[in-house]
Amino acid sequence: MAAVIIPAPVALVMADNGGLAGVITDGDLRRFLVDHDNLKGLLALDLMNTTPVTISQEAMVADAEQLMREDHLKWVIALNDDHQVAGLLEGVD
């Protein structure tokens, strides 16, 4: 697995086949640190959400906006037909 660093409060964890394995948000880290003193020995697998909300890269931006509004999301991941990450759409307040 590999992580993709992007200018958003989320790390995309990529599977060996290039597909999306999961995501880690700043909230995931904060929740973990409530019960733990540090991140030593922690693996991405220990924190990541393996079922993040995604949308097709072919979807209309309005659909992504509605999805983010309905699910109270700050961002949504766009996937191509091979279920690989095509982009990240971030909502605007």
- Spans of all domains in the chain: 2-90
Q: How far apart are the first and last CA of the chain?
A: 32
Answer yes or no: CATH 3.10.580.10 is held by domain 2-90: yes
What is the residue-averaged pLDDT of the chain? 86
pLDDT at 93 over 50: yes
What the block records as the tokens of 59 is 């979807």
| Predicted local confidence at residue 55, as pLDDT | 95
pLDDT at 7 over 90: no
Torsions phi, psi of 87, nearest 5? 175, 180
| Predicted local confidence at residue 40, as pLDDT | 87
Q: What is the DSSP letter of 57?
A: T
Contact 78, 64 (CB under 8 A): yes
